[in-house]
Structures are given as C-alpha cells and as structure tokens.
Structure 1
Amino acid sequence: MEVFVQVVDAGGFSRAADNMQLPKATVSTLIQQLEAALSVKLLHRTTRQVTVTADGAAYYERCLQILTDVKEAEESLSRTRLSPSGRLRVDAPTGLTSSILIPALPAFFERYPDIVMELGSSDRPVDLIEEGVDCAVRGGALGDSALIARRVGVLNMVTCAAPAYLEKYGVPGHPRELERHRCVNYFSAKTGKIYDWDFTRDGERIQLPLPGMIALNDSNAYVEAGLAGLGIVQMTDYLLMDHVHAGRMTQILTDWISDPIPINIVYPQNRHLSTKVRVFVEWVAELFDSHPGMRVRQMAPPQPQRQPEAA
C-alpha cells in the first residue's frame, strides 16, 4: 500500500523508487503483486507516464486512510512520541536556509537526535507530493489548496545599496526617484515574472516596476549583486542588515515600509502528520517567533543618509 501510494503521488515508478530509496524493479514487482492479489488493474502504464485507473483512484483513497490509522496506532504504542525518528525531507528558500535554519539546526538535532534530515534549498517552489517532500517553508502568497499551511512569521523588507553605488549615482530620497536609478530585480523561479517594488508611508502606497541591468531568482545571488554595486536592492532584512551594520551596504528610504511577506510551513493535507514532521513544524515556529527579523515591525525612525562625496 505504501509503495502504491508513492507511485500515484510521484506519477511514476522511478521517482517513487527514489523517494522510498528502493530499487525501481522492487517497486514495479510490488505493484504487480498487489494488482495480482486484488485481481484489479490499478495503474495505466505508458512509456511516458503512469496514471491511476478508476479502481486505482478509489483504492488510493482507502489506502491513505488505512496507512494513517496504522501510523497512529504504531505511534500510540511506541517511543516515537518521545523520541521521533526517521528520515525527514524538508525544502526551504536559499537565503532563509543559510542564514537562519542551518545555524540553528544543531539545537534541533540535540533535541531530536534520531531524526535524519534531507534539506533541499532553492527558491523554486517544489511539488511536495510529487517530489516526496514532507514539508516546506514558503514565503509569499500560497496558491496550492492541496496543502495545509501554518503561519510561522513574516519577512520584513529593506531597501539598500552599496556605498560605492550611492557615491556614484546619489541617494534617492523618494521611491519615484528609483526610476532614474539602476535597480537589481527579482523574478519568480516558477513564472519568470519580475516582481514590482512597493513602498508605504503615512497612508500613501507606491507600487512600480523599476529599470535594472540584471534580474535574479536566488536570494543569496541577489544580495551578492547588491554588494557588487550592480544597483539598488530590496530584500529581507535578515539577509541585508548584517551587511548594513558592517558598512558593506547602506539602507535607504528608511521612512518608507515595504509590504512584509508572510512565511508559512506547508504540508499535504491528505497525509497523517507524523511525529517527526510535527516536531519540526513546532521547532521552526518557535525559532521564527524568537527571531527579530520575523516579526511585523512598525515604521522605523528616519536615519541619516550617507551623502555622496563631491566630485
């Protein structure tokens, strides 16, 4: 039943085998044995894809419930409630992974030493079910209704530039002045759409596309572009503020606020939430709640700007 559910979710034998860390031949044999035992064809197989039959779809739903019941029964009688164990597959954005999750993971593994984590890091929204991911940390609006989401924080945005860039091109005093500057844009890894920039002050809201010589879809690369002086950047403060404090970047337009980005942990709604996933979700919520960069903030007081030197 577990193999059958994995094949349906993954849409094929090879990906299911990878997700379960089994040989493809073993997965194929188990499905054949299951169909023979049931005397029912569960899957349509072609050279390109595997799809579920009508009988297979009905059996799939029953399997999910049965496997959930079995898992709950096992956990009620085992030590996994006290010491969760096993492989946990997680996906999270690159900047958040490197700056917040990884530095805190030693404390997680000290608390849960029997969990083995596979942590994917990219700004590409993965398909949790197809790719066999237990849960994912995602920023921004959620469009997948097949997932359960838990809000765990927000990402606050700041606008910055390298000091050398500001010395050469000047310091903008209003968001509209950015239209005369070089800006580093960010585009969606899923749609390719370049995101607009937004600013709010005293009830006035400005949202606009801005010119730029380069656009990126990886947050770490985006920050590096700003440090290299390629233009003005707008990114999460936990990625930029260390550079500001070290003098490598200068924060600008500090009397304007950009929309905070909600951050959620998502997981499939038709799956039993295992103990290892549950404790990870709770740990991330606790971690983000204690992080100053993850809280909704009020308008920051204006800060003196570094003016460009006279030519």
Structure 2
Amino acid sequence: MDKLQAMTTFVRVVEARSFSKAAQTLSMPRSSVTTTIKNLEAQLGTPLLRRSTRSLSLTEAGARYFASCQAILSDIERAESDVSERTNTPRGRIRVDVPGVIGRSIIVPRLREFEARYPDIELVLGLSDRPTDLIHEGIDCVIRTGVLEDSTLIARRLGQLNWLTCASPRYLKQYGEPDSIAALAAHRVVNYLSNATGRPLDWRFRVNGEDVTLSMRSRFAVNETEAYLQCGLEGLGLIQLSEFAASAYLRSGRLKEVLASARCVPVPISIVYPHARATAAMRTFVDWIAEIVGSDLPQ
C-alpha cells in the first residue's frame, strides 16, 4: 500500500465527511477510497472512522492519526513548494471556485495566456454563485465578495464591486423611473435568492450618508447571476447587481442605472485559501488572478 496516498485519501475523507465526495475530489472510484481506508485500518490494527448511513466521525485513534497525517502532508507540500520555487517552475493541480460572471468574463478568456506562462500548473475551474466550503469540498481557493468572516484563511483583496440599481428601456417605458427610495413601493423588482439561505437578498442603498436596506416583494426571484441579469433585460423589473456584471449592457443601452445618487457602499472582493494550500503554484495563481482581475475592478 502506498502510505502517502493512503494518508492523503484518509485526510480527504475526513475533510469531506463523505467517501463519495472524497472520491470525487481525488478523481478516484468510491470503491477504491473505501478499500484504501479499510486496508489502512487493517495495517494500523484499529478503526479510524465510525460509519453509519447518515454520518461519518473519527474514533479517538482516528483523530490522533488525522492530526499526524495533516502535519506530515503539510510538511511534504511545503518541501515540494520550496523546491519548485527554487527551480522557478511552479507546478501542481489547483481547484478554484469563482463567481460565474468573473470566471466567464475575465478568467476563461485568458486561460491560454495562463497556460503559456505556467505550463506545469493544472487548473480546475468551477463557476458558481453558491457559497463553498473549501475544506469539505476539496477546493484550494475561492473568490469571495463581502466582508470575510473566516480569519483562518489567507486572503488577498482584489478590489471592490460597485452595486447598481438598473432597469431596461422596456421597463422604464412601461413603468417610469423611480426618483427616490420611497418611489420603489410603486415599482416591480426581481429578487436575487441567497444561495446560502434561499431567501431574497435585501436591497441596499445609501441615502444622506446612511445605509438603508429594504426587503422587496417580487413576482420573480432567481438564484443565478446570468438568469437575474436576463430578467432585468427582459423588463421583468428593477434589478440590483454589480457594475462589473452590468457594464457591457449599460454601454450598449440595454440597461440604464436608476437611483444613482443612492448607490450603496462598494463591496470588497478577495481571493482566499487555507494556509495548508500556500504552495508555490497557489501563490503563482493568486498573483496572476490579482493581476488580471485587479486591472478590471476599482480598487
């Protein structure tokens, strides 16, 4: 049995809290993951995991072994990273999760450039608006908007997002343009559903130096940026989204900003990753992201 592979598999199972999810992140059949853990337990002569149909937890021995495995694998990763840095050829596989609009508009069009500059880095790019758990899903880094709550992660600020209230010419022709926050009561809106809670996000404004949040009733609500944007373009109601997502449509005239004097405070956007994933390849990727995303966002 390859002991390092077994340790890696065990750690990933614990982090993912699932044999199936661990298998997906390791690109292995589930049966291979199960066999590896069984063989590891047999070799160590003690159970490492308590299994049930609904949960997976560590035994006392498993908890000690998990901590040791994390330390060993982290040391190996740092050693390889150090060699890679010294030879100036960062290499490795990085799993990244980013908001769809940033991935499609900025990152994907420049992947050929990334490959030319860093041919030994394999990039697995996930595009979604949903919140992700880096550890449990085996993701190496994510781009997040808003104030960061997890202080255990390394974070690098990329810039900030300005949020606008917009409408299509079709909507404005039919319903007119609101001239104040109070006027919104007579207008139709499309709500954006939080992927974390499933509830509509509040509409945010800043009036006379004070932050204002409103809960708006709507006939339509969606949970994905492209669909949300399309609702606005179709004239289904006012929408509130980042200037970055709306910019091309504002330039073409397919959207118009309303209530510009009541824009809310800009929201920071950052790339974050765990300390254990701070390899040369990761730092190289973060520098590249900061270079290409930062040039397109206000600082």
TM-score normalised to the size of structure 2?
A: 0.90
Match of 2:168 in 1: 162
TM-aligned CA distance change 1:272 to 1:170, over 3 Å? closer
The answer on 1:22 being equivalent to 2:67 is: no
How many Å separate the matches in 1 of 2:52 and 2:194?
A: 33
Question: One-letter code of the match for 2:284?
Answer: V
Distance in 2 between residues matched to 1:57 and 1:87, nearest whole Å: 27
Maintained 8 Å contact 2:81/2:281: no
The code of the aligned residue for 1:166 comes to L
**Aligned alpha-carbon RMSD (Å):** 2.0
2:96–2:126 contact (8 Å) kept in structure 1? yes
**Aligned mate of 1:295, from 279, 294, 298:** 298
Deviation of 1:135 (Å) = 0.8
1:211 to 208, 213, 217: 217
SS across alignment from 1:77: helix
For residues 264-294 of structure 1, the C-alpha deviation after alignment (integer angstroms, 9 at most, x for no partner) is 222234x242222221112112222211xx2
1:94 is matched with: 100
Gaps of 5+ in 1: 297-311
> Shift of residue 237 of structure 1?
0.6
Q: Where does the alignment leave 5 or more consecutive residues of structure 2 unmatched?
A: 1-6
Alignment partner of 1:105 is 2:111: yes
Find the residue that maps to 2:96 and give its secondary structure: strand
Structure 2 CA distance, aligned partners of 1:150 and 1:197?
Answer: 27
What are the within-5 Å matches in structure 2 for residues 230-245 of structure 1? 230-245=236-251
Cα distance in structure 2, aligned partners of 1:138 and 1:79:
27
Which protein is richer in helix relative to its size?
Answer: 2
Distance verdict in 2 for CA 1:79–1:150, change over 3 Å: closer
8 Å CA contact 1:181–1:211 kept in 2: the answer is: no
Paired AA for residue 289 in structure 2: V
CA displacement, residues 44-73 of structure 1 (integer Å, 9 cap, x when unaligned)? 122333221111112111111111111222
Q: Alpha-carbon deviation of 1:78?
A: 4.3
| Count of aligned positions | 293
Tell me the equivalent position of 2:140.
134
- Matched-pair contact (CA < 8 Å) for 2:191–2:201: yes
Letter in 2 for 1:159: T
